[in-house]
Amino acid sequence: MRLLLVEDDDHVAAALSAVLSRHGFRIVHARSGEEALQALLPADKEPFGVVLLDLGLPDQDGYEVCGKIRKRSAIPVIMVTARSDVRSRIHGLNLGADDYVVKPYDTGELLARIHAVARRGSAVEDTGATPLAALRLGPVHIELPTRRVSVDGNEVQLTRKEFDLLALLAQRPGVVFRREQIISEVWRTSWEGTGRTLEVHVASLRSKLRLPALVETVRGVGYRLVPPSA
Ligand code: CA
């Protein structure tokens, strides 16, 4: 698998490249945000499976780079940073990062996370190739293959995680999904701090769809989707 390593510290990059190469990854190293974005431009090469993105870069903030990557690609992004506070994690995940690893990290854990997001990335592509049905819930129309959502025929722009969350709840309208279950399915993680992220995404879904009652909070348990009357 090709992996784009965005890291301005050559020592860190060399050490990490050595480990990752031993595990079968083909590393392309970018030292700045601009280099990273250039490397991701469509080429006739095999696409990258994962981006490992350091947040402290010389030319632009890693968050900014993540936002730009997400605007043009669904490639899995793992943020690697020394900033461990919950607010930073939420900010990163809201920008579309798939996971967040805090330095100093355990190499085994990093590898596990890379494999997890890469698996999911290819699963997304597989689903995209299958003409799966669309879901309709009153005025809400969810097209699974194209990941498009519209309300009363008007397309609504959702982030990747917002879509995943909506699609998950919409699979079984009326059924309560536990918080841990949602976090595990949408974020593929169980770390502390994701709970708040979940709340942020639910709030954002409610407001973007302009259907505040669509996703109901089941206090102490989780959430369920209440099918709106058409
Ligand atoms: Ca750095």
Q: Of 76, 116, 78, which Cα lies nearest the Cα of 100?
A: 78
Domain termination residue (choose one: 86, 110, 126):
126
Strand order of the sheet with strand 215-218?
176-178, 222-225, 215-218
Query: Does residue 19 form part of some domain?
Result: yes
**DSSP bridge pairs for 135:** 142
Task: State in Å: Cα 56 to ligand 1 middle.
Answer: 4
Q: Are residues 116 and 28 in the same domain?
A: yes
Closest to 212 in 3D by CA, of 194, 222, 225:
225
Judge whether 159 lies within some domain.
yes
Q: How much distance in Å is there from the Cα of 6 to the middle of ligand 1?
A: 9
Q: Which helix (H) or strand (E) holds 29?
A: strand 26-30
| Cα of 57 from ligand 1 centre, angstroms | 5
Asked if residue 48 and residue 111 are part of one domain, the reply reads yes
Statement to judge: residues 55 and 150 lie in one domain: no
For residue 44, report the distance from its CA to the centre of ligand 1, in Å: 29
> 3-state class of 213 per DSSP?
coil
Please give the pLDDT value at position 18. 94
In a domain, 75, yes or no: yes
The Å distance, Cα 10 to ligand 1 centre, comes to: 9
Does 97 fall in a domain? yes
In a domain, 41, yes or no: yes
CA–centroid distance for 118 within its chain = 11
| 3-class SS of residue 65 | helix
Host domain of residue 53: 2-126
CATH number at residue 108: 3.40.50.2300
Residue 173 maps to a domain? yes
Q: Look-up: residue for tokens 């301005």?
A: 8
Q: Are residues 26 and 87 in the same domain?
A: yes
Same domain, 47 and 100: yes
Tell me the CA–centroid distance for residue 32 and ligand 1, in Å: 9
pLDDT of amino acid 127 = 42
pLDDT of res. 65: 94
Q: What is the pLDDT of residue 121?
A: 66
> Looking at the domain assignment, is residue 230 inside a domain?
no
Question: Is there a single domain that holds both residue 24 and residue 113?
Answer: yes
Q: Does residue 41 share a domain with residue 8?
A: yes
Residues 16 and 114 in one domain: yes
In whole angstroms, what separates CA 35 from the centre of its chain?
22
Rounded to whole angstroms, how far apart are CA atoms 109 and 112?
5
CA of 81 to the centre of ligand 1 (A): 8
Q: Domain check: are 41 and 78 in the same one?
A: yes
Distance 139 CA to ligand 1 centre (A): 46
Instruction: Give the pairing type, strands 176-178 and 154-156.
Output: unpaired
User: CB within 5 A of ion ligand 1: which residues?
Assistant: 8, 54, 56
Domain boundary among 62, 95, 126: 126
Q: Is residue 188 part of a domain?
A: yes
Q: Is residue 4 exposed (0-12), middle (13-18) or buried (19+ Cβ within 10 Å)?
A: buried
pLDDT confidence of residue 75? 86
pLDDT recorded at residue 81:
84
Examine the domain organization and report whether 112 and 16 are in the same domain.
yes
List Cα–Cα distances, 142 to 7, 99, 108, 147, 229, in angstroms.
38, 25, 37, 7, 16
Single pTM value for the model = 0.57
In this prediction, residue 123 carries a pLDDT of: 57
As averages over each run of 10 residues, the pLDDT of the chain (230 residues) reads 95 93 94 94 79 94 90 85 77 81 85 84 49 74 87 92 92 85 79 74 94 91 82
Query: What is the model's pLDDT at position 38?
Result: 92
Kindly give the distance from the C-alpha atom of residue 72 to the centroid of ligand 1, in angstroms, as a whole number: 23
State the distance from the centre of ligand 1 to the C-alpha of 142, rounded, in angstroms.
Answer: 39
The tokens of 132 are what? 């799966």
Number of structural domains (the chain) is 2
Contact 158, 211 (CB under 8 A): no
